Structure 1
Amino acid sequence: MDNQQALSTTATDMSTDPTLDSTTQRKLAAMIERLSSLHQSRVSTKTDLKDPSFESTKSFILLFTNSKQEIESSLTQIQQNSDTNPTLDLKPELEKISLSITELEKFVAESSYFLPPYEVRSSLKTISDLKQTLDSVTSKVKPRKKFSFKNKHAKKPETANVVTKEAIENEPEQQMSYKPKDSPGYRNKENEILIKEFKGSEIGEFVLSNLTNCEVRLKGCFRSLFIDRLQNCKIYVGPVLGSILIEQVEGCLFVVASHQIRIHHAKESDFYLRCRSRPIIEQSFGVRFAPYCLCYDGIESDLKESNLDDDTGSWANVDDFQWLRAVQSPNWSVLQERERIDTVKI
């Protein structure tokens, strides 16, 4: 797969791994267009598109490094311009760099499903360093204000990426970042118990969409699960071979197992998980996590077939992409044992 195909796959399709970010569609489109142009120019210099450097991880590193160098070069240029002309207004250039860093951060988030964990950590550390450099440059080149006796309102302290219920509810209605085409599933149901058993790998992707006050029981293995717009639902799912993407859920309970789980725009919901990689949340609050507790006839063999028979403890190591500080994110917590549900048999 060449770089252009890899980026297009990350941005739109990934038939067995739907992990697109659901926030800020306009910025995502702009970022994809810009990054596509960057590596398209690289592609034009390659004579062999089967070169191993076009593998997904290497494609990511190429694009990430290119963008990082571009940002660093812009910061250096701003410093030089400030030294040459101290009165020059560099605010527009600084805002442009800030947007580029944000876009790069989103790119890491959207590529995290195929990246090795150390690559994600390294990339996030690089982004953190870029932000610190931007702050340092901004403080140096920002023109001093003239002395004044006028009273100024005290600046309100920033909430530092703490996601609140009011903040999410005041956002414009989110569009689905991934729209499965003709995938089997349950859609537009209320007050129903929905049961399905999978045999072998007969199903690639399964969808749960626009459900209210429903209980869903899915037994057996399948490739991937996409969930969006659920309210007050209980979802019990056997092992998923690929990934699970959850968007726009409120007041729900999930008992699910998968290699990779991403959660966007979740409110006051509990997640009982077994997963190989660290769960990812974004624009969520009041979400709690606990270990997987599902039971049905044959689940042990299904877990083994899916390579999910061992509990790695990843369910308790959640990555909040709205919170890059070293301290614990306030948007999620581990569910206390006394509050957890018992093993669920379906």
Structure 2
Amino acid sequence: MDSSVQARLLERQEDRKAALEKRRAEREQTQRVEESVDYLEQKFIEKKKVVTDLLENSSSVPRDKLSPYFNEVALKCQDLQKHVSDSVLFLTAYSLGQYQQQITQLQHQISARQEDIMPKKKFAFKSRRKESSNPPPKTAVAKDVASSKVVASLSQQSKIGFKDKSHETLSMSEGDSRGQDLNLSGLSHCEVRLPGAPTTLHMSRLDNCRVLCGPVSSSVFVDDCKDCVFVVACQQLRIHTSTHCTFYVHVTSRSIIEDCSFITFAPYSWTYPELNEQFKVSGLDQSVNNWQMVDDFNWLASSDPSPNWSILPEQDRTLF
């Protein structure tokens, strides 16, 4: 047999072997993924049952033990959220959405149950206004509002936050925000500090404000804001109808903007003593930060960068 013919035959044989090996590896990979998905589903069911069982048993807990009991329920729910967050690579978009919907429903059940059986506190702002002979003008930016300061703290509610405030510095304790759905709306020229691990954060109609928030276990929603600075850590960040805002973010998925303009992004830069512990409570992975990954729903040209957002240059960034 001619040596060249023999060489071609050997080459074909090697190609067939390589193809067979590739198909075998693909079958094994598919099987591993299917097994992983089955395992993730089983663990999700088990972890969810832990939370629902705790909720069902809450009526038999002594009143003076309810606060730590519901802290434990919130931690178990956050553990369930972490399980889903850690499993993103194995899940389809549909499955991820279904899991997230179940977690959101569970969080609402926890809030409703807690509000139903725990002693209700009267909602009140505790404020202390500093006297100033030179109050700041209405056009002052958020970082200059200290001369007209009001420090406010809120009692625990199923939905808490700050609304319709101007030229104030607002804060909430870690205990008040943990596991809660927080809402900020109608704020102008305010600075808001939210150390803690809330479940979600909704912000709408903010003008010339600065918001610093600890790790949020699920999503941060921003709507109709302008000339603001946001420092947030979360699993998902969604920004709608906002302009001239800067976001310092730690986000484990991808940020989404829609109907926005002049939005800039930088990595999360707020530090305080309890931050690392609150990252653990929230279930967010500190080693994963996709702060520079942004999807613009108004810009579908994948080959060209969106004109609606940009990276904030390092020399312009601030440490908080």
How far the C-alpha of 1:292 sits from its partner, in A, is 0.2
Q: Give the unaligned 5+ runs of structure 1.
A: 1-51, 53-112, 122-180
Residues 53-89 of structure 1: CA deviation (Å, up to 9, x unaligned)? xxxxxxxxxxxxxxxxxxxxxxxxxxxxxxxxxxxxx
1:262 is matched with which residue: 238, 257, 260?
238
Give the corresponding residue for 1:195. Answer: 171
Q: Does 1:291 align with 2:263?
A: no
Partner of 1:277: 253
* 1:312-331 → structure 2 map (5 Å cutoff): 312-326=288-302, 327-331=304-308
Shift of 1:119: 5.1
Tell me, in whole angstroms, the C-alpha distance in 1 between the residues paired with 2:178 and 2:219.
Answer: 16
Residues 274 and 308 in structure 1, CA contact (< 8 A), matched pair in contact too: no
Contact 1:274 1:311 in 2 (8 A): no
Q: How much has 1:324 moved relative to structure 2?
A: 1.3
- Matched with 1:307 is 283
**Separation (CA, whole Å) in 1 of partners of 2:233 and 2:275:** 11
Residue 234 (structure 1) aligned to one of 210, 220, 228? 210
Query: Aligned match of 1:250 in 226, 236, 239?
Result: 226
Matching of residues 75-86 of structure 1 within 5 Å: none
Shift of 1:318: 0.2
1:1-346 to 2 correspondences below 5 Å: 183-199=159-175, 202-326=178-302, 327-341=304-318, 343-344=319-320
* Deviation by residue 1:239-292 (Cα, 9 ceiling, x = unmatched): 011111000000000000001110001100100000110000000000000000
Structure 1 324/218 Cα, relative in aligned 2: closer, same or farther at 3 Å? Answer: same
Q: Secondary structure at the match of 1:212?
A: coil
> Quick one: distance in 1 between partners of 2:257 and 2:308?
9
- Deviation, 1:116, is 5.7
Deviation at 1:294, TM superposition (A): 0.6
Deviation digits for residues 178-205 of structure 1, max 9, x if unmatched? xxx9721100000000011122875420
Find the aligned partners of 1:116 and 1:282 in 2 and give their Cα distance: 23
Number of positions where the alignment pairs a residue of Structure 1 with one of Structure 2: 173
1 CA distance for matches of 2:308 and 2:93? Answer: 21
Aligned match of 1:158: none
CA RMSD of aligned residues (A): 2.7
Q: Tell me how far apart the structure 1 counterparts of residues 173 and 223 of structure 2 sit (CA, whole Å).
A: 23
SS of match in other structure, 1:301: helix
Alignment partners' CA distance in 1, 2:282 and 2:169: 26
Counterpart CA distance in 2 for 1:281 and 1:120 is 18
Give 1:304 deviation, angstroms.
Answer: 2.3
Instruction: Kindly indicate whether the alpha-carbon contact (under 8 Å) linking 2:181 and 2:201 is maintained by their aligned counterparts in 1.
Output: yes
Q: d(CA) in 2 for partners of 1:264 and 1:205?
A: 19
TM-score of the two chains, using structure 1 as the length reference? 0.46
1:300·1:309 contact (CA, 8 Å) conserved in 2?
no
1:213 alignment partner, SS class: coil
Q: State the alpha-carbon separation in 1 of the partners of residues 196 and 177 from structure 2.
A: 9
Distance 1:119 1:269, change over 3 A: same
Structure-2 residue corresponding to 1:73:
none
In structure 1, C-alpha distance between the alignment counterparts of 2:306 and 2:269, rounded to whole Å = 25
Distance 1:234 1:223 in 2: 20
* Sequence identity (%): 37
Structure 2 distance, partners of 1:232, 1:201, is: 23
1:308 match: secondary structure: coil
Bigger relative contact order (CA 8 A; separation at least 6): 1
1:303 Cα shift?
1.2
What secondary structure sits across from 2:234 in the alignment? strand
Q: Where in structure 2 are there 5+ consecutive unaligned residues?
A: 1-40, 42-84, 95-156
Structure with the largest fraction of helix: 2
- C-alpha separation in 1, matches of 2:221 and 2:279: 19
Query: Structure 2 length normalisation: TM-score?
Result: 0.50
